[in-house]
Structure 1
C-alpha cells in the first residue's frame, strides 16, 4: 500500500457524505473570521465541490469569485450548485494560470496537505493577490483535533499496526500552527495569524459515522477499501467500541481546523 494511492479525490457525492458536511461548517466560521468587506475579487484554490466558494458568495457579496480545482469531477459538482458571480476552472494550485496581482483575496480550504509542494502553492497565491491583499487557508488538525479521524486511525492501528504509516496525523505535519506560519512567512506574507476553528460533528448513529468510510475516496476510506472483509469487520467493531454514544444512539464528536491568514506587503509609498 502507498500513501499516494489513498489520496485520490474524484467525485463530489462521496466527498459530501464523508467530509463535505463538516467542511461547510468550518468554511462559514473561517469566512466570518476573515471579516472581509463586499465588492472584492476572490480566488478559492483547491475549491473541491465549492463549499468555501459558496460561503464567500453568500457572506461577502464579492465582485467575483473563482474556484480553481485540479479534479474535473469536483469541478462538475461545483458548477452544478454554482452561486451567482462564481466561475470554476480546472487547474493546478502550484502553477496558477493567472496574472500577477489579480485578486483581493486568495483562500483555500482543506487542501494544502494534499499538495506535493504546499510552499509552491502558497507562493503562487501570494503572486496572484494584489499588494495589501489577503492570503488565507484552513486545514484539519489531523494529529489531535479531528476527532472522528483520530478515533478511526487509533482503531485501525490496534487492528493493523502497519496502518500507522498511513495515519494522516503522522503524514501531514504541515497541519499544525508552526509549520503553517512558516509557509506563510516563507512566501513573503506579513501580519500572519493562526487560530483554531472548532465545530461540532454529531453523527446520527454508528452507521452515519462508519458508512462514509466505505466510499473508497480519501486516505481513510481508501485504506478501508483495501482491507479484506474480515479486517474491515474487525476495524468496524473496534471503532464502534471506542466512540462515545448517547442513549439515542447519536455520537457527539468535534473537529478542529487550523486557520491562517496573512497579507502581501503593500507597495511602499515614494
Structure 2
C-alpha cells in the first residue's frame, strides 16, 4: 500500500463511519454470529472492533461471560464504549499486540478490519495466541472485488471522471478479501477445521442523498478520495454514480453487500 493510498484511509470519527458503513456492518455481524452459533458463557475478544458493531452484537445475542473490543482508533473506541453493555469494554490497542495474556479467551473475532492492517498475518497469529486450545478464531471482510455493489458503482463512477481514482479502489488494493486467501491465512496461522463462507445482506437506501451523503464524511478510502478531490470532481462523480443506480419508483435504491467469513480452531 503506498503512502498516497494510506492518506485516503481515514478511520477516526465513529459517528461518521456509522453513517457510511456501520449500518451495514451491524447486519453482517448478526448473520455472521447466527452461523457461528457459539456456546454461552464464553470470553470474547473483538480485534479491530471499530465502532463496536460485532462486539455489541455478540454481547446481545451470544450470552458471553465477557467481551473485550480492541482498536487502534481512539475515536472509534470512544463511539463503541458509549453503547457498551455490562461485561463489555473497549480499549485502544494494536491488533498485533493484544493487551491480554496468552490462552485467556475462548473466542477471537474480527469484523471488516483485517484487510486494513499492515500485517494481517501477524494479527491472526496474535488472535491465535489469545485463545485457549480448542478456541475459535473467526473473521469476515467485505468482498470488495465483486460483492459490494455500492462501492463497485462508486469506483466505476469515480474512474469515469478521474482515471487516477483506480489506484484507490479497494478491489485492487485488498487481495485478502477472497475466500481462498482468507482460508490460507487461517491455515498458515496453525488453525484447524478451517472453513470459509459468504455472508450477504441487503443495503437499501431511501434515495440518492441517503447513499451519497455518507461518502462526504471522509471515513474510509472512497470518502477519503472525495475529501481530497476538487468540488467540481465530486459533483461529476455524484452525477456519474446516480446514472448507474437502480432507482425504484419511490426513489429508493436496493443493492447488496457480500462479505467473506472464515473460521478455524486453535489445536
- Scaled by the length of structure 2, what TM-score is found? 0.98
- In 2, the alpha carbon distance for the partners of 1:54 and 1:38 equals 15
Number of corresponding residues: 265
C-alpha separation in 1, matches of 2:256 and 2:144: 12
Distance in 1 separating the partners of 2:203 and 2:90? 29
Instruction: Give the equivalent residue in structure 2 for 1:53.
Output: 55
Q: Deviations over 1:48-98 (max 9, x none)?
A: 111101110011111111011111111111111101210111100011122
> Which of these residues, 229, 239, 242, is aligned with residue 237 of structure 1?
239
Distance 1:134 1:10 in 2: 29
Q: 1:23 aligns with which of 22, 25, 28?
A: 25
Output the CA distance in 1 between the equivalents of 2:252 and 2:99: 45
Helix, strand or coil for the counterpart of 2:60?
A: helix
Counterpart in 2 of 1:268?
A: none
- 1:228 paired to 2:256: no
CA-to-partner distance for each residue in 1:97-147, whole Å, 9 max, x for gaps?
221100000000000000000000000000110000000000000010000
Q: Give 1:99-178 correspondences, 5 Å limit.
A: 99-178=101-180
1:78-89 equivalences in 2 (<5 Å): 78-89=80-91
In structure 1, the partner of 2:253 is: 251
2-side partners of 1:232 and 1:169: how far apart? 21
Deviation at 1:44, TM superposition (A): 0.4
Counterpart residue number, 1:8: 10
Deviations 1:197-224 (A, max 9, x none): 0000010000000000111111000001
What CA distance in whole angstroms lies between the structure 2 residues aligned with 1:50 and 1:232?
A: 30
In structure 2, distance between residues paired with 1:97 and 1:39:
21
Deviation (angstroms), 1:148: 0.2
Residue 3 of structure 1: SS of its match in structure 2?
helix
**Over aligned residues, Cα RMSD in angstroms?**
0.8
With normalisation by structure 1, the TM-score equals 0.97
Match of 2:68 in 1: 66
User: CA separation in 1, counterparts of 2:258 and 2:196?
Assistant: 13
SS of 1:106's equivalent in the other structure is strand
Separation in 2 of the partners of 1:75 and 1:197? 25
C-alpha distance in 2 between matches for 1:184 and 1:95: 18
Q: In 2, distance between residues paired with 1:190 and 1:7?
A: 33
Q: Give the Cα separation in 1 of the matches to 2:49 and 2:86.
A: 16
**Structure-1 separation of matches of 2:37 and 2:153:** 33
